[in-house]
Amino acid sequence: MFPLPATTVDEVALGAAGGALLALLLGLTAHLRVSRLRRGFATIDTPDGRHSVLDALGTQQRETAALRSELAAARSEVAATRADLSDALRHVSVVRYDAFGDMGGRLSFTAALLDDAGDGLVITSIHGRSEARTYAKGVKAGRSEQSLSPEEEQSIELAMRGPARR
């Protein structure tokens, strides 16, 4: 190859040194910006103060696991409560009437007390002039082994229908 003049070599060396200095300044500027970003991402403001992102994520993970555990416990309690409620005497109806034609005031009544399956009892109280009689009959699936009066059948039917369907 042929030799370059000294001034050209000096100019090239000076240009390379200037380019290197410019690259160094750009690298330092980029490093400072990345450092600031890392510090900004390394900590996060929480209600408890500033924490590292990893600590905050760990705390959130533990809290989520605890909430899932509490939710599972609440679901099992709700299921147990629903099972208990199905056996409760929640379906009630009362039919009032005059048992005897010569008496007024509808003092006689029949009350049906049933659970969700239609099991329970029907209570009838018949009021006369000089006495009152009360009868109780068991009910299984909306039916009784004893014969039922029309008022008792009506009371059972109303109780099984529920208040929203009357």
The pLDDT value recorded for residue 137 is 95
Return per-residue pLDDT of the chain as tens, 166 residues: 666 677 888 888 888 999 999 999 999 999 999 888 877 676 777 677 777 777 878 888 999 999 999 999 999 999 999 888 888 888 999 999 988 877 677 889 999 999 988 999 999 999 888 888 999 999 999 899 999 999 999 999 999 887 654 4
What single-letter amino acid sits at 57?
A: L
The pLDDT value recorded for residue 88 is 84
Rounded Cα distance between 105 and 97, Å, is: 8
Q: Name every residue whose Cβ is closer than 8 Å to that of residue 156 and which is 6 or more positions away in sequence.
A: 93, 112, 114, 118, 122, 139, 142, 144, 148
DSSP 165: G
Rounded Cα distance between 166 and 155, Å, is: 12
The pLDDT value recorded for residue 166 is 42
The pLDDT value recorded for residue 1 is 61
The pLDDT value recorded for residue 30 is 94
Q: Name every residue whose Cβ is closer than 8 Å to that of residue 117 and which is 6 or more positions away in sequence.
A: 86, 141
Neighbours of 107 (CB within 10 A): 16
Q: 91 in helix, strand or coil?
A: strand
The pLDDT value recorded for residue 165 is 44
